[in-house]
Amino acid sequence: MYAAGYGIRPLKAARHGAGLAAAGRVLAILLAGAGTSALLALATHVGSAPIGATVVVQPGDTLWSIAANRYPGDDPRARVDEIERLNRLQGPLIEAGETLRLPG
């Protein structure tokens, strides 16, 4: 059976252009999300710290020792990761004479 009575009206748009306004809101939300994603991707790619200085690796140096000496108040693990990312190193192995860029 079909319901009949008060409050049952045929389907029709509430006003002219209502569909366009909703589409505009959806588009604005999508653009805001895409912009936020792009900024986060750029921040991740660039790294959290700008280039501050360079250091020439001396015999016996490790990334850990360089990070601990240059940033005594910071967590060396985080600084080692930043140095690896900044210099596009595949791992913690470095050689004497190599010049490394350090985060600022």
Q: What angle do CA 94, 98, 101 make, to 5 degrees?
A: 90
What CATH number is attached to the domain comprising 56? 3.10.350.10
- Domain containing 93 equals 49-103
Is residue 91 within 8 A of residue 76, CB to CB? The reply is no
Residue 11 CA to residue 67 CA, distance in Å, equals: 68
The answer to whether position 21 is within a domain reads yes
DSSP track, 82-99: HHHHHTT-SSS---TT-E
Residue 36 CA to residue 31 CA, distance in Å, equals: 9
- Report the sign of the C-alpha dihedral through residues 46, 51, 56, 57, in that order: negative
Do 99 and 53 have their domain in common?
Answer: yes
The answer to whether position 11 is within a domain reads no
Q: Check residue 28 and give its pLDDT.
A: 83
* Number of domains present in the structure of the chain: 2
Q: How big is the chain by its Cα radius of gyration, in Å?
A: 28
Global confidence as pTM: 0.51
Per-residue pLDDT of the chain (104 residues), as tens digits, is 565 666 666 666 566 666 667 777 888 888 888 877 777 766 655 544 456 799 999 999 999 999 999 999 999 999 999 999 999 999 889 999 999 999 98
